[in-house]
Amino acid sequence: MRSMSSEDSGRSQTIRAILGLRSLVIQGELKPGERVLEQMLVDRLGVSRTPARTAMARVCEEGLIEALPVGGYAVAQFSESDVFDAIAIRGNLEGMAARLAAERGAPAAVLLKLHRCVEALDGVVERLVHDPDLTDYVRLNDEFHELMLDAAQSPMIRRSLGRLTALPFAAPNAFVSVSNADSPAVRTILVVSQDQHRSIVDAIERREGTRAEALAIEHARSAWKYLHRVFEAEGGLSHLPGMHLVVRDAA
Residue 91 reports pLDDT greater than 60: yes
Claim to verify: residue 107 and residue 10 sit in the same structural domain = no
Q: Which one-letter amino acid corresponds to residue 169?
A: F
- Name the nearest CA neighbour of 74 among 31, 14, 26, 42: 31
Mean pLDDT of 218-247: 71
- Return the higher-pLDDT residue of 177 and 86: 86
Domain boundary among 76, 94, 115: 76
Quick: pLDDT tens for 45-73: 999 999 999 999 999 988 899 999 998 99
Mean pLDDT of 163-185: 69
Residue 240 reports pLDDT greater than 70: no
Claim to verify: residue 72 and residue 85 sit in the same structural domain = no
Confirm whether 117 is domain-assigned.
yes
pLDDT for res 1: 45
Residue 207 reports pLDDT greater than 90: yes
Total domains in the fold of the chain: 2
Residue 248 reports pLDDT greater than 90: no
pTM higher than 0.85:
no
Distance CA 242, CA 175 (A): 11
Claim to verify: residue 107 and residue 210 sit in the same structural domain = yes
Quick: pLDDT tens for 178-192: 455 566 777 888 888
pLDDT for res 84: 84
pLDDT for res 179: 52
Claim to verify: residue 25 and residue 101 sit in the same structural domain = no
Domain boundary among 42, 76, 110: 76
Claim to verify: residue 38 and residue 146 sit in the same structural domain = no
Claim to verify: residue 83 and residue 70 sit in the same structural domain = no
* Domain extent for 110: 79-247
Cα 214 to Cα 3, 113, 207: the distances in Å are 52, 22, 13
pLDDT for res 150: 97
Claim to verify: residue 104 and residue 198 sit in the same structural domain = yes
Claim to verify: residue 93 and residue 172 sit in the same structural domain = yes
For residue 227, the SS3 value is: helix
Residue 235 reports pLDDT greater than 90: no
Claim to verify: residue 20 and residue 122 sit in the same structural domain = no
Alpha carbon 27 to its chain centroid, in Å, reads 15
Confirm whether 1 is domain-assigned.
no
